Amino acid sequence: MLPGTGSDDVFVRAVFEIPLAAVGIRLVAPPPVPGSTLAEAALEALSTSAFAAPVLVGGVSFGAHLAAEWAVRNPDRCAGLLLALPAWHGPPGAAPASLSASLSAAQVHSLGVAGALAAGDLPEWLSTELGRAWRGYGPKLADSLLAAAGRAAPTLAELAGVAVPAGLAACVDDPIHPAAEATTWADALPRASVCTTRLAVVGLDPESLGRAAVLAWLRAGGRPG
């Protein structure tokens, strides 16, 4: 499972570890490799995990994009998808998550991490999460944010060729990752289901996002380990 833009493996574990364990699946959450090659390093980590056998892959936001991109390229090595909060399909264009990441990169350059977090007017739980994760990226944070902001996600036509069970999770109150985008992905994928929660719930219980994705995956035909 891969983290979202500016996020980290700590949050991925908080979201997915216990929901996956409940269906007999062990979580592997590689930490992000900061910098302009962030995406390439994440894709390589997925390939390494699938060296011996097909694997269930996924992530949150940008991590979901990369997992789906990897599945498009490696259909025989992917056993299923857990996709939480996909933010766009195809080129990012004016997608809110892309614009937000670009703005954050500019603010990090001009204001530093603390100033950028303060300027974001974020919920307390999200500010705490990003404060920890962003500092872990060190001086390559802005480059990492820009790498995510500018990368195309799979197109709907590409998603239509991914035949494995896919569970999608969306937050109905998230303007950055619209729930409608998760529905669009699910409509394109041949075997997919969507379950929803709310950002306010995720702030109190990060596992709620993972439970939604795992439940959707099971409904789409995923098999417990």
Q: Is the pLDDT of residue 122 over 90?
A: no
- Are 144 and 35 within 8 A, CB to CB? yes
What would the pLDDT profile of 41-57 be if each residue is shown by its tens digit? 999 999 999 998 999 99
Average pLDDT over residues 35-45: 98
pLDDT at 121: 82
- Are 70 and 47 within 8 A, CB to CB? yes
Dist CA 47 CA 78 (whole Å): 10
Q: Is the pLDDT of residue 64 over 90?
A: yes
Q: CB count, 10 Å around CB of 138?
A: 11
Identify the CATH number of the domain defined by range 9-92+152-219: 3.40.50.1820
If you compute the radius of gyration of the chain from its CA atoms, what whole number of angstroms results?
Answer: 16
Average pLDDT over residues 158-176: 97
Dist CA 91 CA 153 (whole Å): 6
Dist CA 199 CA 92 (whole Å): 22
- Are 8 and 32 within 8 A, CB to CB? yes
pLDDT at 225: 81
Contacts of 134 (CB under 8 A, 6+ apart): 6, 108, 113, 116, 117, 141
- Mean pLDDT for the chain overall: 97
Query: In a 3-state reduction of DSSP, which class is residue 57?
Result: strand
Residues of the chain with CATH 3.40.50.1820: 9-92+152-219
Dist CA 50 CA 188 (whole Å): 24
Average pLDDT over residues 124-130: 94
